[in-house]
């Protein structure tokens, strides 16, 4: 198995991850991902930042999203090899990821140099505050990264970042963020009986590009003011597909100290990245990948990652738990779904009609039978 090739998608029409959809946004009907365009200039790359305390699923959800992009590229033939010997669309990461085309601790330094091959990328950057701290705002690396992100549209690059402390990220980098994602890992799942280790992602449209909410917001955004919610289900599949124990060496450290830290975490023979080719970086990733043999075996044994990517609504977790408990207590059936409307409206203000509640129940995998004005919901 090629160590940088993901498992084959189960379906050729695999739906790509949509960080944000549903309703009719003001500026665009949807977010277009890398490669999903028909005419020049249509691609609209986004920059996301994921926030959460330790163990809340920031890196886990970023890894799951990146794998979805990997399968999406493969399904559309966008992972084919170019004449230069690299894939047309690739995954870059600054932490160890088994399916990434390039995993390297100095990816950030590489990108801010605007290398010729930094095109058609999905870039995953963990612990971004270590690289671009607001107290180091005059460092050239901060300015260079801001310049790179400003022009990512010209190179078909999307950036997904994670940090524990978004308020410590340089303000120029903050200005480039499109979506702020507040992550929360639920070990017991989202309320669906078949789901465990679900990451709840509260998504904030930071600049109001899709919601029209263009007024100034606090940074980081208030948790209760999120615009959409999205679940990634059964994320325990990814526990062995990445490593985030490695310490990230801050850019402002002395070169000697920084190199020593990288060697301790990644191995003794990590080469200098002054002018290497992408092939050199790929070979390095192959050699020093995340427990390479174990990761390959884990991915080969996965059920194909095909989670329920339906966008939830505020209060979805509480409402889902309420209905699930009710179904279990009532012999797995509720005769009239209208009897749930009063409580559903109280828990989730986005549930206003019977149609909304039916959509909600179907989205959780429950069976809804409709007969005229009567509706029955039950577990599978």
* Domain harbouring 95, CATH code: 3.40.50.300
Last residue of a domain, one of 300, 325, 347: 300
Residue 4 inside a domain? The answer is no
Residue 20 inside a domain? The answer is no
Last residue of a domain, one of 269, 300, 331: 300
Residue 14 inside a domain? The answer is no
Quick one: 213 and 190 in the same domain? Answer: yes
Quick one: 267 and 167 in the same domain? Answer: yes
Quick one: 282 and 255 in the same domain? Answer: yes
Side-chain half-sphere of 349: how many Cα atoms within 13 Å? Answer: 2
Residue 62 inside a domain? The answer is yes
Q: In the structure encoding, which two tokens stand for residue 10, read together?
A: 């189960």
Residues in the chain: 380
Closest CA to 134 of 252, 254, 253: 252
* pLDDT at residue 15, as a whole number: 35
Quick one: 277 and 364 in the same domain? Answer: no
Quick one: 106 and 239 in the same domain? Answer: yes
Q: Each residue of 61-75: pLDDT tens digit?
A: 999 888 888 887 887
Q: In the structure encoding, which two tokens stand for residue 227, read together?
A: 């615009």
Quick one: 224 and 339 in the same domain? Answer: no
Residue 343 inside a domain? The answer is yes
Last residue of a domain, one of 272, 300, 328: 300
Residue 366 inside a domain? The answer is yes
Supply the DSSP symbol for 278: H
Please give the residue range of the domain that contains residue 320. 314-378
Quick one: 240 and 96 in the same domain? Answer: yes
Q: Each residue of 84-141: pLDDT tens digit?
A: 667 788 888 888 888 888 887 778 877 777 777 788 889 999 888 777 755 544 555 5
Backbone angles phi, psi at 341, to 5 degrees: -60, -45
* pLDDT at residue 50, as a whole number: 94
User: Looking up tokens 């493969």, which residue turns up?
Assistant: 74
Q: Into how many domains does the chain fold? A: 2
Quick one: 119 and 243 in the same domain? Answer: yes
Where is 69: in which H helix or E strand?
Answer: helix 58-75
Quick one: 71 and 147 in the same domain? Answer: yes
Quick one: 144 and 267 in the same domain? Answer: yes
Residue 15 inside a domain? The answer is no
Residue 2 inside a domain? The answer is no
Quick one: 84 and 111 in the same domain? Answer: yes
Quick one: 273 and 324 in the same domain? Answer: no
Integer Cα distance of 48 and 120 in angstroms: 17
- pLDDT, greater one: 5 or 191: 191
Report whether 311 contacts 235 (CB < 8 A).
Answer: no
Buried b (16+ CB within 10 A) or exposed e, 214-244: eeebeebbeeeebbbbbbbbbbebbebbbbb
- Mean pLDDT comparison of 106-110, 135-139, 197-201, 341-345, highest-scoring range: 197-201
* pLDDT at residue 359, as a whole number: 86
Report whether 128 contacts 167 (CB < 8 A).
Answer: no
Report whether 31 contacts 142 (CB < 8 A).
Answer: no
């Amino acid at each position: 198995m090629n160590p940088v090739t993901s498992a084959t998608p189960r379906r050729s029409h695999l739906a790509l991850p949509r960080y944000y959809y549903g309703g009719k946004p003001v500026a665009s009907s949807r977010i277009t991902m890398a490669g999903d365009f028909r005419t020049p200039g249509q691609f609209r790359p986004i920059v996301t930042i994921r926030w959460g305390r330790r163990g809340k699923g920031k890196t886990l959800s970023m890894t799951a999203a990146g794998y979805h992009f990997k399968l999406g590229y493969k399904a559309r033939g966008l992972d084919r090899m170019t004449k230069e010997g690299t894939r047309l669309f690739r995954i870059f990461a600054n932490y160890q990821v088994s399916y990434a085309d390039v995993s390297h601790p100095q990816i950030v330094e590489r990108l801010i140099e605007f290398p010729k091959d930094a095109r058609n990328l999905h870039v995953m950057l963990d612990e971004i505050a270590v690289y671009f701290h607001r107290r180091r705002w005059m460092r050239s690396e901060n300015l260079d990264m801001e310049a790179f992100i400003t022009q990512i549209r010209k190179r078909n690059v999307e950036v997904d970042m994670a940090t524990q402390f978004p308020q410590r990220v340089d303000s120029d980098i903050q200005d480039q963020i499109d979506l702020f994602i507040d992550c929360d890992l639920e070990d017991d799942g989202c309320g669906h009986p078949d789901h465990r280790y679900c990451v709840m992602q509260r998504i904030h449209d930071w600049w109001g590009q899709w919601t029209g909410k263009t007024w100034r917001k606090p940074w980081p955004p208030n948790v209760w003011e999120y615009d959409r919610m999205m679940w990634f289900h059964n994320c325990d599949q990814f526990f062995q597909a990445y490593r985030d124990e490695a310490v990230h060496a801050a850019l402002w450290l002395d070169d000697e100290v920084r190199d020593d830290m990288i060697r301790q975490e990644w191995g003794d023979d990590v080469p200098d990245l002054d002018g290497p080719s992408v092939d050199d970086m790929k070979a390095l990733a192959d050699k020093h990948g995340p427990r390479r043999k174990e990761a390959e075996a884990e991915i080969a044994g996965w059920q194909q990652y095909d989670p329920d990517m339906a966008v939830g609504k505020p209060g979805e977790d509480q409402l889902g738990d309420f209905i699930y408990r009710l179904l279990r207590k009532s012999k797995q059936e509720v005769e009239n779904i209208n009897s749930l409307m009063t409580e559903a409206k109280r828990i989730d203000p986005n549930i206003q009609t019977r149609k909304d509640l039916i959509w909600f129940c179907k989205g959780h995998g429950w069976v809804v039978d409709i007969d005229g004005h009567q509706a029955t919901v039950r577990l599978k």
